Amino acid sequence: MFIDKVKITLKAGDGGDGIVSFRKEMFVPNGGPDGGDGGNGGSIILKVSPHINNLTDFYFTKKFYAENGERGGTNKKFGKYGKDLVLFVPQGTIVKDAETEKVIADLFLEADEVVLLKGGNGGRGNTKFKTSVRQAPMFSETGEKNKEREVILELKTIADVGLIGFPNVGKSTLLSKITRANPKIANYHFTTLSPNLGVANYHGKTFVVADIPGLIEGASEGIGLGHDFLRHIERTRMLVHVVDISGLEGRDPVEDFKIINNELSSYSKHLSKLPQIVVLNKMDLLFDDFSNVENFKKAYANEYEIIEISAVAHSGLEELLVSIIKKLETLPKIIPTQVEMFDFDKKDKTTFNVIVTEDGVFEVVGGLIDEMIRGVVLSDFYSFSYFQKRLQTEGIIDKLKEKGIKEGDLVRIAEIEFEYQE
């Protein structure tokens, strides 16, 4: 089974909670706080593996969770960090946010890896809240929690040359003759249902060739798995367009060529602009009637380089290899998608805003608030007192006053609601 696109669910590990603890040693009265911090949660990392060529592993298992961090301990001991979860993917894998379909990572190179979801920070133990005036803090901080995230993994084959054409025109045979690839070959349509890669080596010059499954009319609209197949041409440097010149299938080679190019253009302007070398295959089946060759050259000789071959008879292949190498030497290398590093929870943790709702509630929102509210225990007097003090020191109380808050008005911060008191 060849899988080149799949949606999966990921969750980085939660941070472990900090704890409240005090030294309890003989002869050490008032030993002070010694609650340790929670451990950080494990991150989710995607890494290229040379031993994987498709996304089948993600077809059967679609939920992946990194390990949570553990609680802090007494005597200022840190909680154990959660293990990172490393997921191996084939080279050429693009990662998209499932909700927006924005590309968030492109694992293009052999050694590429990316931290896709960062583990949550561990909460601080009560040791970290000790000050000159707060000698025995009775509260700690909970670990940072993470949410499940859905992403789309999409494989786009990386090759120098893409072999395209209708089904059964001899692309797989050609691949097997110019490389050491061993694709499945048979005399029926859609023998190839997934891209096959091979490396051609001619007098020390090497290049990667991808045999793309046969395209049909309507491929750009998804007919015949068209979208799945066309995706694998997007990262090739040039195309070798294989045409069955024998006409034994009852089709017109000129019309076939036109249909495939129309599909490329409909799917992507980029594909329609890729350089093409046209290969007229199955020349050994023409016998004495070369009218198809003459008609094709009459239609396209001024626009394309046309090479006559017989992949089965190994005729014309050297000329083709030389032409491909010359063309590649003039073309730029493939470059990865330019991706701005994406953070699902990217927020400015220094800003906030006050919104007055229609029902008169003063709602405080923003990255700073999200950071402050983490770890507040409403039922704990000391914890809530610390939170209230931060509202003052961070300027949130002043902002509420600017918005016209009065004694007794309702304030909402995250899921916490309380009456404002001077």
**pLDDT exceeds 60 at position 226:** no
> Could you read off the pLDDT of 244-267 as tens digits, one per residue?
999 888 889 999 999 989 888 888
pLDDT of residue 348: 63
- Per DSSP, the three-state class of 278 is strand
How confident is the model over 98-116, as a mean pLDDT? 89
> Could you read off the pLDDT of 39-53 as tens digits, one per residue?
999 999 999 998 887
How confident is the model over 169-193, as a mean pLDDT? 68
Model confidence at 422, pLDDT cuts 50, 70, 90, reads confident
Q: Where would I find the beta strands (DSSP E) of 52-195?
A: 63-65, 85-89, 93-97, 103-107, 113-117, 149-155, 161-164
How confident is the model over 82-105, as a mean pLDDT? 92
Select the more confidently predicted residue: 1 or 101: 101
Name, in order, each residue with C-beta under 8 angstroms of 89's C-beta and a sequence gap of 6 or more.
46, 47, 48, 49, 52, 55, 107, 153, 155
Q: What percent of the chain has pLDDT over 90?
A: 44
- The interaxial angle of helices 317-328 and 171-178, nearest 10 deg, is 80
> Could you read off the pLDDT of 289-309 as tens digits, one per residue?
899 999 999 999 999 999 999
**pLDDT exceeds 60 at position 269:** yes
pLDDT of residue 48: 93
pLDDT of residue 194: 66
How confident is the model over 148-174, as a mean pLDDT? 89
**Among 83-87, 101-105, 321-325, 381-385, the least confident range:** 381-385
Select the more confidently predicted residue: 35 or 333: 35
Q: Are 213 and 194 in contact (CB under 8 A)?
A: yes
Beta-bridge partners for 361? none
Q: Which domains does the chain have, with CATH numbers?
A: 1-155 (2.70.210.12), 161-328 (3.40.50.300), 353-419 (3.30.300.350)
**pLDDT exceeds 50 at position 283:** yes
**pLDDT exceeds 80 at position 227:** no
Q: Are 324 and 162 in contact (CB under 8 A)?
A: no
Q: Tokens 């304030």 map to which residue?
A: 411
Beta-bridge partners for 47? 88, 113
- Per DSSP, the three-state class of 315 is strand
**pLDDT exceeds 50 at position 225:** no
**pLDDT exceeds 50 at position 219:** no
Backbone angles phi, psi at 325, to 5 degrees: -60, -45
User: What are the residue ranges of helices labelled H in 205-290?
Assistant: 226-230, 253-267, 269-272
Task: Give first-to-last CA distance, the chain, whole Å.
Answer: 68
- Per DSSP, the three-state class of 287 is coil
